[in-house]
Structure 1
Amino acid sequence: MLLAIDAGNTNIVFALVDQSAARPLIRARWRIATDPRRTADEYAVWLHQLLQLEGLDRGAVDAVILCTVVPRALHNLEVLASKYFGCEALVAGRAPVEWGIRLDVAEPKSVGGDRAVNTIAAHALAEGDLIVIDFGTATTFDVVDYAGAYKGGIIAPGINLSLDALVAAAAKLPRIAIAAPLGAGVIGRTTEDQMLIGIYWGYVAMLEGLVARLKAEIARPVTVIATGGLATLLAQHTSVFDRVEPDLTITGLALMHRRLLTVQG
């Protein structure tokens, strides 16, 4: 069984992947807040309990692959793999699991690992030119051409980051939860309603506007794939997404591991 780890700025996702199926099958997934100070021992205690809830022990894991955009978290995750799962962690983009795709941008080394992994997964799941939108701490728009090359994209503030900045900068505004508005109206009658409308519908408008501009620049038929925690919520009120793939990054990691197994025979 493969343990795939996606370490983002806000959360780290751990997923247990069955590689014996025709395509990677996610058996379980767990999420924990990102804290670079968290030790391998702390991860191990937490994971041990979750594995037991699935009726498994850590002996079921025979390989670990990870990608991270938080360099300080890497060491403890590598120690977790070696100390508690008895294997060397495979790090996406580092030998022997290089990207295997063309990063057709001005500074290839600056491309975030999660964006490269999403490119690999999206190209495997859909044909033609693609726009991949990942809702995380930042919202990223990645353009993938029909040959699977990463062509660049857009980085925008994440929806929660935008809300946090608004509340932090305006002393009288309350903290609210992100949710889909109850109706399509955009005239809020309370402060909370007005904030929710501004954040939610404003974000939908940004998505639709940027995707329209990207499509016009690509000038070929494009499939739009959304991933990340808020993709499903936003999909309720926009048709800009052609498909929602919540586990895109984990799928990409599993595909990279599978490719390595094929190369090694």
Structure 2
Amino acid sequence: MLLAIDAGNTNVVFALFDGDDIRARWRIATDARRTADEYVVWLRQLLELEGLELNTVDAVIIGTVVPRALHNLTVLSEKYFGVTPLVAGRGAAEWGVALDVEQPDSVGADRVLNVIAAHQKYKQDIVIIDFGTATTFDVADYEGAYKGGVIAPGINLSLDALVGKTAQLPRIALESPESDNVIGTTTESQMLIGIFWGYVAMIEGLVARTKAQIGRPTKIIATGGLAVLFDEHTDVFDHLESDLTLQGLHFLYQRATHAK
């Protein structure tokens, strides 16, 4: 089976592919200092819960936006799975899509993987909104070329900044508001309205501006952990794709191995 590893700024996600399907997925907090030995103790237990062993994994592909994490994930693959991992964007797993921006080397691996996976599905102009540590808007044209996008603070970062930089505002839970009312009567409700509905307004405003700039029919795709929360309160998303980055890793692996 293929183990696809998506190392993000907040979490590292491990997904075990059985053919084209994800058999299991697990996540652990990102820590670039975490060693291969620490990873394998955790992974072995999770594999056993699925009735599997370490030797079930016979291929590994890694995509990371945390360069310091790559070494230990590579050691994990070589030492415990006995395979040399493919690394997204390098060698046999090169992107294979045009990065039509001024600094192509600075584009995060997760963003390119999302574009690759979305283009394989929709074959038209697309905007991908990924709700992660940051919220990113990525634009690709109908040929699959990455054209650029937007980076905004993630909603949890925004909430942390609001609470951390003020003396009297309390910590609140990020949750779906009980109503569409945007006039709060308590400090907590006013904070939730400002964070949540303010974020929805940002999403809708940027999507409208981006679609107008593209000038062609465009699919809007949402991914990331909080996408479901916002999907309930806006109609701008055409599709919800929770595993887009992992699907991009799977596609790169398939292409690299079929090309041999």
Q: 2:80 aligns with which of 69, 79, 84?
A: 84
Query: Which residue is 1:232 aligned to?
Result: 228
TM-score, normalised with respect to structure 1: 0.97
Query: Which residue is 1:105 aligned to?
Result: 101
The alpha carbon displacement at 1:127 in A equals 2.4
Q: 2:40 aligns with which of 11, 19, 44?
A: 44
Q: How does 1:90-169 map to 2 (within 5 A)?
A: 90-169=86-165
Taking the aligned partners of 2:50 and 2:191, their CA distance within structure 1 comes to 40
Query: Which residue is 1:9 aligned to?
Result: 9
The alpha carbon displacement at 1:97 in A equals 0.7
The alpha carbon displacement at 1:237 in A equals 0.3
Query: Which residue is 2:242 aligned to?
Result: 246
SS of the counterpart of 1:46? Answer: helix
The alpha carbon displacement at 1:186 in A equals 1.0
Q: How does 1:201-220 map to 2 (within 5 A)?
A: 201-220=197-216
Query: Which residue is 1:179 aligned to?
Result: 175
The alpha carbon displacement at 1:49 in A equals 0.7
Deviation per residue, 1:208-237 (Å, 9 max, x gap): 000000000000000001100000111010
Taking the aligned partners of 1:252 and 1:79, their CA distance within structure 2 comes to 23
Taking the aligned partners of 1:240 and 1:150, their CA distance within structure 2 comes to 21
Structure 1 residue runs of 4+, over 2 Å off?
none
Deviation per residue, 1:217-263 (Å, 9 max, x gap): 00000000110000011101001100010100000000000001110
- CA RMSD in angstroms comes to 0.7
Taking the aligned partners of 1:73 and 1:191, their CA distance within structure 2 comes to 40
Q: 1:259 aligns with which of 241, 255, 260?
A: 255
Query: Which residue is 1:54 aligned to?
Result: 50
Letter in 2 for 1:223: K
The alpha carbon displacement at 1:98 in A equals 0.3
Query: Which residue is 2:187 aligned to?
Result: 191
Letter in 2 for 1:14: F
Taking the aligned partners of 1:119 and 1:189, their CA distance within structure 2 comes to 42
How many residues are paired up? 260
Letter in 1 for 2:147: K
Q: Which runs of 5+ in 2 are unaligned?
A: none
